[in-house]
Amino acid sequence: MNKQIGYFIPEFPGQTHTWIWREYQAMLELGMKPHMISTRRPPTKVVHTWAQKAQSMTDYLIPFETKDFVKVPIELIKAGPIAWWRCLSVMANTKNLSFSQRLYYLVLIVMGAKLACLARTQGCLTSTFIPVAMLLILPYLPPYFRRSLIV
């Protein structure tokens, strides 16, 4: 059994993330190796005693680090033309997207590649990783984009 698990949390650590930290501690006690990944650092200073430690051990999707400018394009190449076609066709077939919204979704594709790269390097990437990540992200996407992904 793979004891490594990727734990994906938006803007971690935040004021309401104490339960995530407790869950992280419980996973450690069970002998698991959770790897914390977050979309970005929280916009305000977090006052929890564990917050600084949590930030130091969390990988963030943004901002990009220098190494990401090499690793992410490689991950996009590894995804292959079928994956590129799927992503771009969803964007092309989604109605009423402005140019800036299309650029935003291109950025999300790049962030997805960084997430896949982090999962792969930490040994957390499995066949169930991407579908589970999509289910977690779907509620945060605009309704017109969700419909095009579900079809």
**pLDDT for residue 72 is more than 80:** yes
Helix 99-121 with 68-93: angle, nearest 10 deg: 130
Q: Which contacts of 147-150 are long-range, i.e. CB under 8 A and separated by 24 or more positions?
A: 148/90, 148/93, 148/94, 149/90
The answer, yes or no, to whether residue 91 has pLDDT greater than 50, is yes
Do residues 114 and 68 lie in contact, with contact meaning Cβ atoms separated by under 8 Å? yes
Is 143 a residue whose pLDDT tops 60? no
| Percent over 90 (pLDDT), the chain | 15
Question: Which tops the pLDDT comparison, 143 or 95?
Answer: 95
| Mean pLDDT within 12-41 | 88
What is the arithmetic mean of pLDDT over 107-132? 72
pLDDT of 2: 60
The pLDDT assigned to 131 comes to: 44
Gap between the Cα atoms of 40 and 95, Å rounded: 29
Q: Report, as an integer, the average pLDDT of 111-127.
A: 77
Residue 144 has pLDDT above 60, yes or no: no
